[in-house]
Amino acid sequence: MAAEEWVKAFADVGWTITGTVRYFDRQVTVRSKDSASLTYCADESKGFSKVIKTNEVKGTKVTKNSYVAYGARVEKNADGVWELMEINSTRGAAKCQP
């Protein structure tokens, strides 16, 4: 999964995430009794990378790319648990800009 690979890449170089990410404008669309999609925006302007060994925070300049639009598809499995099947993101999405 892309999300697992993203987290592993941070861990492999000794980094973590710090700060705050605000999520907003969520919308859920139920497709069937076993399928749904959701969209939402993220404001990552106050979220930063941090070097674990030194606690150094890697600040970045706030730009349009600090705002991200996400789309996800979930499905209910045989045990009745909703599972993430697909997620994609668009950095700098106009609909998520302040």
Query: 1 vs 42, which has greater pLDDT?
Result: 42
Percentage of the chain with pLDDT > 90? 74
Integer Cα distance of 36 and 77 in angstroms: 12
Residue pair 56/77 in contact (Cβ under 8 Å)? The answer is no
Give the C-alpha separation, 49 to 69, whole Å. Answer: 20
Instruction: Report yes or no: 59 and 48 within 8 Å, Cβ to Cβ.
Output: yes
- Tell me the pLDDT tens digit for each residue of 15-53: 888 899 999 999 999 999 999 999 999 999 999 889 999
Query: What is the model's pTM?
Result: 0.80
Largest Cα separation within the chain, whole Å, is 49
CATH number of 2-93: 3.10.450.50
- The ranges assigned to domains in the chain are 2-93
Q: What is residue 1's predicted lDDT score, i.e. its pLDDT?
A: 57
Helix H or strand E encompassing 1: none
Higher-confidence residue of 91 and 6: namely 91
pLDDT at position 11, please? 83
